[in-house]
């Protein structure tokens, strides 16, 4: 691969052509969502880079771009995601430099030096308050009650999605991507085969009310091909579109509408996921188990999901006994 794209490319179509080839040639990028995020972040960096007047990728250029994103009000987590994309991009450029025999050795040495330093730009430390919240059970009961009062197919579908989000902590994309062939009834519950973030498969389980809500939805949804989405679109008048999955925006719209009906503070599907992490820890599950349930690659991520308030920490410390007896102070010399 020629390394001419080490400098800004004025031709936007050429930018996209080079980037698409790099993304397609990396076997580690299997997730559609990851590829989409990398593409978006790198093209945004390229656009900034082109108008910045800089001639090569360097550590100072990447740091300046991070500062630019911060000045635009981007959250540290968003900036760090962009930095991860850019570091990947820089490493791909270094591969091209090594393979391009037409580059003058002295120029190659300088490119490698600059690129190596650019790839070492570290993530920002996120000192902002954690996003999201812990959702009390009473609020979920209100949401499910709102769905139950809706006697339409949409009410049955929404109730099943919320119940699964609450009990199994599924990501919004995992709920939308769940196929009929991924669901298997086992005894009084269901096993769900989930394709998670990074194309990592895992099994989750639906019991109790979540199993009942899912059973109700499957019974009214009717027979379907194994490749069809479990939670499909429903048109006005109750007409099912069995082969059309819900979009992420539509799924958030479901929660927004049910929160409004139930007089519950706004929440996201990820709030239900965070809540499951905290509740499982409160119930005595170890971090490793919670990590496996949620499909996290690292237990550190699982720990960051905990949104329980300080009363949980206070209660934990109150249970720790210290063998000390108060003194009678007037007897102290």
Q: Mind listing the pLDDT tens digit for each residue in 101-113?
A: 777 888 777 777 8
Residue-wise pLDDT for 279-320, tens only, equals 888 888 888 888 888 888 777 777 777 777 777 777 766 776
Token duo for residue 79: 């900036």
Superfamily of domain 137-269 in the CATH hierarchy = Intergrase catalytic core (1.10.443.10)
Catalytic residue among 92, 134, 157, 171: 171
Task: Kindly state the average pLDDT of the residues 204-211.
Answer: 90
pLDDT at 1: 37
Given the residues 270, 304, 307, 308, select the one marked as catalytic.
Answer: 270
Active-site entry in 68, 197, 233, 304: 197
* Residue 230 or residue 3, greater confidence: 230
Select which of 65, 89, 190, 305 is catalytic. Answer: 305
- % the chain with pLDDT above 70: 89
Q: Which residue has the higher pLDDT, 246 or 53?
A: 246
Greatest CA separation for the chain: 89
Question: What is the distance between the alpha carbons of residues 182 and 205, in angstroms, rounded to a whole number?
Answer: 12
User: What does CATH list as the number for 4-118?
Assistant: 1.10.150
Is the distance from CB of 5 to CB of 93 less than 8 angstroms?
yes
Residue 197 annotated to the active site: yes
Domain extent listing, the chain = 4-118, 137-269
Q: How crowded is residue 81: how many other Cβ atoms within 10 Å of its Cβ?
A: 17
- Taking only the tens place, the pLDDT of each residue in 253-274 is 999 999 999 999 999 999 998 8
| Dist. CA 3–CA 24, nearest whole Å | 17
**d(Cα 121, Cα 63) in Å, to the nearest integer?**
7
Q: Is 179 a catalytic residue?
A: no
Residue located via tokens 């990074």: 198
Q: Establish whether 239 is a catalytic residue.
A: no
Considering only CA atoms, give the Rg of the chain: 26
Whole-model pTM over 0.75: no
Q: Catalytic residue at 320? A: no
Which pLDDT value is given to residue 8? Answer: 44
Torsion of CA 288, 77, 164, 265, to 10 degrees: 120
Has 273 been annotated as catalytic?
Answer: yes
**Residue 9: pLDDT above 50?**
no
> Going edge to edge, which strands form the sheet with 201-206?
183-186, 189-195, 201-206
Q: pLDDT, tens digit, for every residue of 89-139?
A: 888 878 777 777 777 888 777 777 877 888 888 888 765 556 788 899 999
**Catalytic (active site) residue 270:** yes
DSSP 234-285: EETTTEEEEEEEPPHHHHHHHHHHHHHHHT-----HHHHHHHHHHHHHHTT-
- Among 134, 221, 258, 273, which one carries the catalytic annotation? 273
Chain centroid, CA 194 distance in Å: 14
């Amino acid at each position: 691969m020629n390394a001419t794209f080490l400098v800004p490319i004025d031709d936007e179509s050429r930018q996209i052509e080079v980037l698409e080839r790099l993304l397609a040639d990396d076997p580690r990028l299997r997730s559609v969502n990851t590829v989409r995020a990398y593409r978006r972040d790198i093209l945004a960096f390229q656009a900034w880079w082109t108008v910045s007047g800089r001639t090569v990728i360097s550590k100072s250029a990447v740091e300046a771009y991070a500062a630019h994103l911060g000045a635009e009000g981007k959250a540290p987590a968003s900036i760090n995601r962009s930095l991860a994309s850019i570091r990947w991009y820089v490493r791909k450029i270094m591969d091209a430099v090594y393979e391009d025999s037409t580059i003058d050795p002295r120029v190659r040495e300088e490119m490698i030096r600059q690129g190596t330093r650019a790839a070492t730009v570290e993530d920002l430390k996120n000192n902002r308050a954690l996003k999201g919240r812990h959702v009390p059970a009473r609020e979920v009961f209100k949401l499910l009650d709102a769905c139950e009062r809706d006697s339409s197919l949409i009410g049955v579908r929404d109730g099943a999605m919320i119940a699964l989000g609450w009990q199994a902590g599924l990501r919004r994309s995992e709920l939308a991507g769940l196929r009929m062939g991924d669901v298997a009834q086992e005894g009084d519950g269901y096993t769900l085969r989930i394709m998670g973030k990074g194309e990592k498969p895992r099994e989750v389980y639906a019991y109790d009310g979540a199993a009942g809500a899912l059973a109700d939805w499957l019974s009214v949804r009717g027979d379907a091909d194994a490749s069809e989405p479990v939670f499909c679109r429903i048109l006005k008048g109750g007409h099912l579109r069995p082969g059309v999955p819900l979009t992420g925006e539509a799924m958030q719209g479901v929660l927004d509408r049910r929160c409004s009906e139930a007089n519950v503070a706004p929440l996201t599907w990820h709030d239900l996921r965070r809540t499951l992490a905290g509740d499982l820890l409160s119930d005595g599950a170890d971090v490793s188990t919670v990590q496996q349930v949620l499909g996290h690659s690292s237990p550190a991520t699982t720990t960051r999901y905990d949104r329980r308030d300080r009363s949980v920490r206070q209660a934990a410390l109150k249970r720790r006994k210290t063998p000390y007896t108060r003194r009678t102070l007037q007897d102290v010399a």
